[in-house]
Every structure is written in C-alpha cells, then in structure tokens.
Amino acid sequence: MGFVTHTIPTIDISAWLSNSSQESRDAVVTEVRDACRTYGFFQLVGHGIPRSLQDKVFECAETFFALPTEDKMEVSMKNCLGLSNRGYETMQGQTLQPGALPDLKEVRLFVRRSPNATIHSFTPFFPSIVLPKLTHSLSL
C-alpha cells in the first residue's frame, strides 16, 4: 500500500482584488472555501505583497516565537481590548468544538493599523509598544 501525497492548494486572488467579473470573484471564493474544507489551509498568490516584505514577516515571526513564553504572554489575547481576538495564544490554547482536543499550534494574531486609530486603541496589539524586546525586529 502506497502513501497518498497531497499538494498545498495555491489560490490566485488577483481576480478578487481587481475589477474582475463577479463570476471570477465567486470562483476565488469557491477555491478558498474548498481548500478550507478539504485541507484546512492554503497559500495565496496574486496578492501583490512584495517578497521582501513576506520574508521580513517570517523573520519577525521566527524572532517572536523564539522568545520565552513569559515574554510572549505580555501580548496574550487575554490582555487585548474587548473581543478583538488579537494577540498571542499558547500551544493548546484553543479548542473550537466541545469535546475535541485542543489545537496544536502557537499563534500571534496581528491587526492592520488604521490611520484614524489612536495609539492607545492598539497598545495590546503592537509588540513595539508592549514588548520592547521585539521592537528591532518589527520595523517593517
């Protein structure tokens, strides 16, 4: 009996981001939905984010996740404002369904800063404010 191999789905979202037809945009939505239902994840292309910025984000993630747990907990989701669902979540920190095993992942969720927001409203989300040890790595 042989092994079954799968390829991570790659989805081109350029149609979603452009003035494409509704049919083309709907096709992107269908691809995302199918990838989520079948594999639980996917990779995107056609988003226009420069490779240099993608590399910097991965570098920052490596730096963040290499920190001691107590440092990462400074930006815990539990410390965020309201129900923003932003911040750090520990390994096995989330269970989506009652009775299921917790997820085996460590997460740091970010938010895009709005030009109209005050710095106070983002304090729990930005490590450069909450976690000075990471400031040098996050200057994107």
Cβ neighbours of residue 128 closer than 8 Å, sequence gap 6 or more: 134, 135, 138, 139
Same-domain check for residues 32 and 56: no
> What does the pLDDT average to over 127-132?
52
- Residue 50: both structure tokens together: 């420069």
Say how far apart CA 70 and CA 67 lie, in whole Å: 8
Give residue 5's domain range. Answer: 1-48
Same-domain check for residues 43 and 55: no
Same-domain check for residues 55 and 44: no
Task: Tell me the pLDDT tens digit for each residue of 17-40.
Answer: 998 899 999 999 999 999 999 988
Same-domain check for residues 130 and 90: yes
Task: Tell me the pLDDT tens digit for each residue of 70-119.
Answer: 888 877 777 666 556 677 887 777 777 888 887 777 877 665 555 555 54
Same-domain check for residues 37 and 57: no
Same-domain check for residues 12 and 30: yes
Q: What is the pLDDT of residue 101?
A: 84
Same-domain check for residues 44 and 55: no
Same-domain check for residues 89 and 111: yes
Same-domain check for residues 59 and 110: yes
Q: How many domains does the chain have?
A: 2
Q: What is the pLDDT of residue 29?
A: 95
Cβ neighbours of residue 138 closer than 8 Å, sequence gap 6 or more: 60, 127, 128
How does DSSP assign 64-123, residue by residue? HHTS-HHHHGGGBGGGSSTT---EEE-TT---SSTTSPPP---EEE--PPPTTS-HHHHT
Same-domain check for residues 59 and 109: yes
Same-domain check for residues 70 and 90: yes
Say how far apart CA 81 and CA 122 lie, in whole Å: 8
Taking each continuous run of H as one helix and of E as one strand, the counts in the chain are 6, 4
pTM across the whole model: 0.62
> Which of residues 123 and 108 earns the better pLDDT score?
108
